[in-house]
Amino acid sequence: RINDPLLAQEVADFTNDCYARARAKLFMTQPTLSKDQLNDVNWIGSRFFLQTPGYYDDGFSGFRSHTPRTKWPYDTTRDAGLPQTTGGGGFPTCTQWWSDASIGLRASCWKQVSPDLLSKLAQWAKFMTQTEVNDSVIRDLVSPRKQKLTQGQVYTDYG
């Protein structure tokens, strides 16, 4: 469970600004997806949304934070046309916001995970790669049922 209310709010913001928009685009375009991809698109850290051009990477189509994030400096190219605030925050693309190794949302969530839990899971889940184990842990952590902020009602179509 995410106990930090600021991190929980950031997860909710990412869900609204990135995931909901990506799901809407997915339903409008109706691409052919494999069984694994159908499962993958049911969470905010979806590899499909992160790796498929036109989804999380496309800040100019709205796949970005809609409020300035102080962790990211304002970038005149990426943030063109968006307001520069006195706090100096920028508007990262969804890919940047999720994936940045030091300040991204995935990294922030990862810091919430107990090393003991990871060790136990790695021993138990020998049939999974370390990346799959890591994604499973983060996926569970950011799932709506684990959010104190809204008692699991962050988004209703989460699988």
Task: Tell me the domain boundaries of the chain.
Answer: 5-146
Q: Measure the CA–CA gap between 126 and 91, rounded to whole angstroms.
A: 39
In angstroms, rounded to a whole number, what is the distance separating the alpha carbons of residues 76 and 15?
Answer: 25
- Give residue-wise pLDDT tens across range 13-60: 999 999 999 999 999 999 999 999 999 999 999 999 999 999 999 988
What predicted TM-score, i.e. pTM, was given to this entire model? Answer: 0.85
CA terminus-to-terminus distance, the chain: 18
Q: pLDDT: is 112 or 41 the higher one? A: 41
